[in-house]
């Protein structure tokens, strides 16, 4: 009966360690608990059955641990739980065909120095050339970048 309990503790520990490596990222309570279960079972084996039985249990536990981790990683079962989709969208991409240097617009928010402007009915993130621009002011596009435009206050 005692050997069955020790084997059960080792199996529970192996399961927790494999779950830690495959499903739960980082070092958490699950992995530590798995190691404690296995170490406790091996220690108990040393206490109850002596050095020879303890050494055999320790060796079998180490081999079983390495085998379980390698098999679980090579099986690809963990891929069912991982995200496989790619995000291919872009944010704040300025369409140069719609906004060109020299175009005029209105500041929708304060630009100090970043804010939002409306140019050619397109809402775009903008940066002023250095001065603060209040909202609802007429601005002129100075430069078009990939993700924003540079504007100045129209005089």
Task: Check residue 115 and give its pLDDT.
Answer: 93
**Mean pLDDT on 20-42:** 88
d(CA 115, CA 124): 9
Query: Is 91's pLDDT higher than 70?
Result: no
* Cβ pair 94, 43 in contact under 8 A: no
Average pLDDT in the chain? 88
CATH architecture of 104-153: Beta Barrel (2.40)
Query: Is 11's pLDDT higher than 70?
Result: yes
- Domain limits, the chain: 2-81, 104-153
pLDDT band at 90 (very low <50, low <70, confident <90, very high): low
Q: Which two tokens stand for residue 12?
A: 């529970």
CB atoms within 10 A of CB 124: 23
pTM: 0.52
């Amino acid at each position: 009966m005692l050997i069955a309990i020790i084997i059960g503790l080792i199996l529970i520990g192996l399961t927790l360690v494999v779950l830690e490596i495959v499903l739960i990222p980082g070092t958490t309570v699950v992995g530590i608990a798995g190691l404690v279960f296995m170490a406790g079972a091996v220690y108990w084996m040393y206490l109850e059955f002596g050095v020879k039985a303890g050494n055999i249990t320790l060796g079998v536990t180490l081999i079983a641990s390495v085998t379980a981790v390698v098999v679980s990683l090579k099986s690809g079962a963990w891929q069912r739980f991982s995200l496989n989709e790619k995000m291919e969208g872009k944010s704040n991409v300025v369409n140069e065909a719609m906004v060109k240097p020299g175009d005029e617009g209105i500041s929708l928010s304060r630009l100090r120095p970043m804010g939002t402007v409306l140019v050619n009915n397109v809402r775009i993130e903008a940066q002023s050339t250095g001065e603060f621009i209040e909202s609802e002011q007429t601005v002129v596009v100075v430069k078009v970048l990939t993700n924003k435009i540079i504007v100045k206050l129209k005089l």
